[in-house]
Amino acid sequence: MGALRIGTVLLVLCSTLFGLWIVSTSSSFQACISNQTAKNTEAGKEQAPKGPLSFTNEVALKSRCAGHVIYDYRDATIAAATVLIAVFTFTLWWTTGGLLRLTRAEFLATHRPRVIVRFIEAPTYDDEPREIVRVHVVNIGVNTATIYGFGGDLARRNIETRIWTPSGASGAITIIEPIRLESAARHVFVVRNRQAFQEVDILEDAWNRAEICVFGSILYRDDGDVTRETGFFRIFDRKSEKFIPSKDQGEEYED
C-alpha cells in the first residue's frame, strides 16, 4: 500500500508539471504573453528593474495568461481533472480496503482459537495387551475451535539407531466427526500402539534400549473457516514418567 500511495503522489505531481509545461509552451500562452507585453509598452509603462516588483508583475502576467489558456481549453482541463480525481478516488478506495484487511487480519490473529496438546498421560495397557495413551488437547485461544481431523500413533524405536519397531510409525490424519471446543475447553484422544506388547518389549525396557513415542497432528478451523494445524511429538521419559516434547520444530509446531 505504501508503494501505491507513493506512486499516486508521483503520478499527480508529474501530471501537474506536465500540464504546466504544456500550458507554458502552447502558442496561445506565448501569444498572450506577447500581447500583454505589447499593451504594457504602449501604455508607457517602463520596464521595472529586476527585483521583487518585476518578479511579482511577471508572475501575475503569466498567471493571467495561464488562466486564459485554461479557460479556452476548459473541456480538456475538466477531462484531465476528472482523470486525476478518479485516480485519487481509486487510491483512497484501495488504501481503505487494505486497512480493513489489515485490521481484520490483526483481529483474527488476536482473537483466534489455539488448540494445543496440554499433556499426554503415561502409557497403560488394554486387554490385548497393547500400550495406550490419552492425549489431552485444549483450546487456549479466545474463539471457538472446531476439530475435524486427527492423526496419532504410539510406537517404539531404538534409542541409538532411531529405527522403529516392526510395527512402524504412521500417525496419518483422519477426518473425524467435528468436535467444537470453546475457549478453555478440552478433549481427550486415545492413541494405541498398533502392535501388541510382547516379551521383547519387556527386555528392551529393562535394558533401556527403546523409547516410547507419541506423535500426530490436529486439524481445526475457526468460525471464519480458517484452517490451522497443530503437530506434536512426545518422547516418554522413564525417570519423570512424563512425555517430553521434541525440540525439533518440524515435529512440534502450531500454525
Nearest to 36 by CA among 56, 18, 1, 61: 61
Q: Taking phi first (over 0 means left), then psi (-120 to 50 degrees means alpha), and beta for anything else, what does residue 44 get?
A: left
* Strand positions, DSSP E, 199-241: 210-221, 227-237
Q: 121 and 184: one domain?
A: yes
Distance separating alpha carbons of residues 105 and 109, to the nearest angstrom: 6
Query: Cβ(98)–Cβ(1) under 8 Å?
Result: yes
Pairing of strands 210-221, 227-237: antiparallel
pLDDT tens, position by position, 187-214: 999 999 988 887 777 777 778 888 999 9
Q: Which domain holds residue 143?
A: 115-254
First to last CA, the chain: 26
C-alpha cell belonging to residue 158: 531404538
Q: Which residue among 110, 130, 152 closes a domain?
A: 110
pLDDT tens, position by position, 124-167: 998 888 899 999 999 999 999 999 999 999 999 988 888 888 77
Q: 244 and 170: one domain?
A: yes
Partners of 175 in beta bridges? 149
Q: 195 and 88: one domain?
A: no
Q: Which letter does DSSP use for residue 50 in this model?
A: T
Query: Is 19 or 145 the better-scoring residue by pLDDT?
Result: 145
Nearest to 171 by CA among 240, 232, 114, 88: 232
